[in-house]
Structure 1
């Protein structure tokens, strides 16, 4: 299904772009987006999807230049437009939702000021009319208190709410084309579904075309009409969603499809042993804050949760944003104070334990952070980062530490990377470094906090397989925190579902996936993207 559209809204023709040193970023890429269509650009990180989309707005780095091809919007090459014409085009005719709303929203401006800015620039409305239109659009994207939202700041909202606000700010101007760059990467599955449904509903109401940039083929199957597959800057396949996803012609497309998380065969049962670590009626309360401009009441983030993890067991904690799963994980390893309850390690409560026992507990607990880039010191080499936990254990010579680091680097597939810096690694490689740092001193318990949420599907598959392999080899217990039900099915022995700080259901992978008892668990499962193409799109 590679036919061209008679009068496409956006037409990319033979686009070739180079970066510094002649690096080919895009190589002869062509695709069309028609009015009212949803076209998905898919591929791994570094495939050129974002660069191809941003070229429509001339939002490319100054060191990147177009050497061939053209990008036509309504028949006009955007490269030939004046600065003033591009200013009118951006926002007015082409809107863009960026991947990270916390970065793209100005933290120093109220939501109302940011929504009004584009309206007053492109629509020439009064401040009062801008506020009225902004309130109406915020209500359409299901912000509970639209009027109050206008005077609030971005940091006062969750990731899902911020992405809704970004959607509202873009759709306020009723653009003809919406570019959505990984708009749901960091959102839980429920927020992800809500944001995408709102986006589809708004674009259908306004007749807006959508260019959706994503690495998630499950989302493509549910929401797109056509798909364009990129690999290392080259177009490898394009066509209707049903055609490409059910009858892929290229090996690369098949590899992307194969990387989608699937339930693995159950591992050998974990021996019925006493708990390695146990939370007993644990509650965690965040104090409220008061100030001249805003205040927040105290919040009970975890409310009376009891959870035990046995040696060698992988327990997945799932739930939406704000469910308390990350707070529980950090409280269990002593990174957050408890409001009530206790944490026991190898049967002994840690509160009031002697200093040596508490030190042993901390050395036996490690954390893999969600964002490896911010958790790795950019000034340290990879070898030094991984060696750091070894300085706190039994005395090892310099040569022994180096030998241990080289061995774990080889285990995680990064042999020879010890002298590199974090900025020289890809996202998947940085996450491997974070995992290597966590397991280098053979801890008894590892908390993995959303370790694959920001990775594309092929890298996610590699990291999940690596994590499972390392656990089998080293035997550590694991609390795997995630909002991705499909991902946890690959690594978990048991699943715990949290909502509003409480456990609402727990059981084996088969019990949770095949016989969910709680309505919230069923909602999480229903919101998990699959490759089943809706009838309306496959027709």
Structure 2
């Protein structure tokens, strides 16, 4: 009897170096029907991406399936030749990767990269390939497709690059589309557009989707069924509504409870303390041309005024390109503002020379989105943490002792000072980055998308850590994020930016619960899972009905 399932994974076991006692995927079973969207969820290290790579035949050599089967329309992919797998990729199944910049060739035009799929897998003429490519680019709602066709990856936004990846994946109309965290690094409006696009193309082309994510909000928006993984083992598989209402395992319940609620936390008392940071009419303009060159000016930040109090958190939210990170980098003087004031500890540092700025730098510290790029991979983390204090004259022995204390404070063992960044998980590296920032005893901590790349459970731990450290040290935190749920849970005040300008600014409870501007309303409406009260396993509408709200 033949199965009606498009994809059927049975007792899949993947092991390091093929050794049975080093299994990273342990007896996985999963089925996907034609036209179905299956979400595979779990924390980092759960085996989600390994399952996808095994299906595509792209596992690295150190990892190999040691038992089980992966059947696509009845054909066992684990027993298929490499030549046959090349034929199946793009034609029968295809994959969208998390980071398109690492999957796209940086020196080839994006149109040619899409067209290359047709060149390898079809007998169309060159003109027919180009016509089909442009049609596909239009289908994924790219603007000015002729210009886009000629563009290189670096000339496109993150959302546009992801659309190019989707066009490339779907141009041969595969029956199975695997999407591996395709919206993780995108802002809420672009994320909503990509999710809607995948849903739309699935309906038009009749494809099935295996969607890999750690974001339960995305699961609520796109899934038909959900399989939950933990350390390579299936915890449960349920239809999405049933899983969100009636999770069967503690692990799933913990994942749901870790989702930051879109409902702002109760306002904290305070706000009358010392001002630790203030900007007045801060502007940053790029471009302007030269003697024989006329170029377009880009006003990345325009007349941005904000005030951060001791022990408070001010969130800056907005889409990519809104000017959030530009403001943060100007405040840190990583880039020079064009005009305006930046007042820290009573000093205007906006136009200070780098030499004059040196003593003021310890008051301002930053935690970046990707700690792996901000930690030196060649030196032990202890050396990274003490580098700043050493530059300000702290004796090495004293600085190392403080580094050990800080590591314990952020939840890591003091002995970790002698280890290298690659020996830690992403969440642990972010804790190290926070410890390094605290080593300078700053007044202001700037967190630039500091939790956006983390699992929801790890994200919740880091947010709790920041709250604890803020209470202990009285830090003022400037928190840059595109995640409105995170902003709702950690921020006292919220500033919304669009095209370099401030469009709304006020208490978090007011801005996020009763927005006055259309742009803010659009951001809130685009947030995935906004209708669900994940912590209580029910939609908000049911909660309101139960309380008469």
Normalised by the length of structure 1, the TM-score is 0.94
1:447-486 superposed matches below 5 A: 447-486=446-485
2:338 and 2:440 map into 1 onto residues whose CA distance is 31
For 1:5 and 1:361, the matched residues in 2 are separated by 71
1:300-315 correspondence runs (5 A): 300-315=299-314
Report if the CA contact (8 A) 1:245-1:531 is conserved: no
Q: Is the 8 A contact 1:445 1:478 kept in 2?
A: yes
Aligned counterpart, 2:374: 375
Partner of 1:406: 404
Q: Closer, same or farther in 2 for the Cα pair 1:52/1:289, shift >3 Å?
A: farther
State how far apart, in whole Å, the 2-side matches of 1:516 and 1:87 are.
51
RMSD of the alignment, in Å?
2.0
Partner of 1:280: 280
Q: In the TM superposition, what are the counterparts of 1:483-494 in structure 2 within 5 Å? A: 483-494=482-493
Distance 1:97 1:286 in 2: 33
Instruction: Tell me if the contact between 1:422 and 1:430 (Cα under 8 Å) persists in the aligned partners.
Output: yes
* SS in structure 2 of the partner of residue 453 of structure 1: coil
Instruction: Work out the CA distance in 2 between the residues paired with 1:518 and 1:373.
Output: 37
1:531 Cα shift?
Answer: 6.7
Say which SS state the counterpart of residue 417 (structure 1) adopts.
helix
What is the aligned partner in structure 2 of residue 18 from structure 1? 15
Q: Structure 2: how far apart are the matches of 1:125 and 1:352? A: 60
Counterpart secondary structure, 2:416? coil
Specify the SS of the correspondent of 1:335.
coil
Deviation at 1:171, TM superposition (A): 1.3
Question: 1:161, CA displacement in angstroms?
Answer: 1.0
Query: Which position in structure 2 is the counterpart of 1:435?
Result: 434
Q: Which residue of 1 aligns with 2:505?
A: 506
SS of match in other structure, 1:229:
strand
CA distance 1:426–1:72, change in 2 (3 Å)? same
Contact 1:221 1:531 in 2 (8 A): no
Unaligned runs of 5+ in 2: 533-537, 540-549
- Residue 355 of structure 1 and its aligned partner are, at CA, apart by 7.7
Q: In the TM superposition, what is the alpha-carbon distance from 1:271 to its structure 2 partner?
A: 3.6
Deviations 1:338-380 (A, max 9, x none): 1222212233322455888622321211110111111110001
Where 2:177 maps in the other structure, the secondary structure is strand
Please identify, of 336-345 and 31-40, the stretch whose mean Cα deviation from structure 2 is larger. 336-345
Paired residue for 1:235? 234
Moved more, 53-62 or 522-531: 522-531
Look up the SS of the partner of 2:320 in the other structure.
coil
User: Offset at 1:6?
Assistant: 4.3
Indicate conservation of the 8 Å contact 2:6/2:33, yes or no. Answer: yes
Partner of 1:269: 269
What are the equivalent positions in structure 2 for 1:135-214 lying under 5 Å apart? 135-214=134-213
Contact 2:267 2:509 in 1 (8 A): no
Structure 1 unmatched ranges of 5 or more? none
- Equivalent residue for 1:329? 328
- 1:106 aligns to what SS in structure 2? coil
1:289 Cα deviation from its structure 2 partner: 8.5
Paired residue for 1:47? Answer: 46
Supply the distance in 1 between the matched residues of 2:2 and 2:435 (Cα, whole angstroms): 49
Cα pair distance change 1:287/1:353, threshold 3 Å: closer
> 4, 7, 16: which one pairs with 1:7?
4
Please name the residue that 1:418 is paired with: 417
> How far apart, in 1, do the equivalents of 2:64 and 2:358 lie?
55
> Corresponding residue for 2:63?
64
Name which of structure 1's ranges 223-232 and 61-70 shifts more when overlaid on structure 2.
61-70
C-alpha distance in 1, partners of 2:295/2:217?
A: 37
Aligned equivalent of 1:220: 219
Q: Does the CA-based 8 Å contact 1:135-1:146 persist in structure 2?
A: yes
1:461-500 CA deviation, whole Å, 9 max, x = no partner? 0011111111111111111000000011121110000000
Q: CA deviation at 1:397?
A: 2.6
Q: Secondary structure at the match of 1:66?
A: strand
Distance 1:403 1:225, change over 3 A: same
User: Given that residues 333 and 350 in structure 2 are in contact (C-alpha distance below 8 angstroms), is that contact kept between their aligned partners in structure 1?
Assistant: no
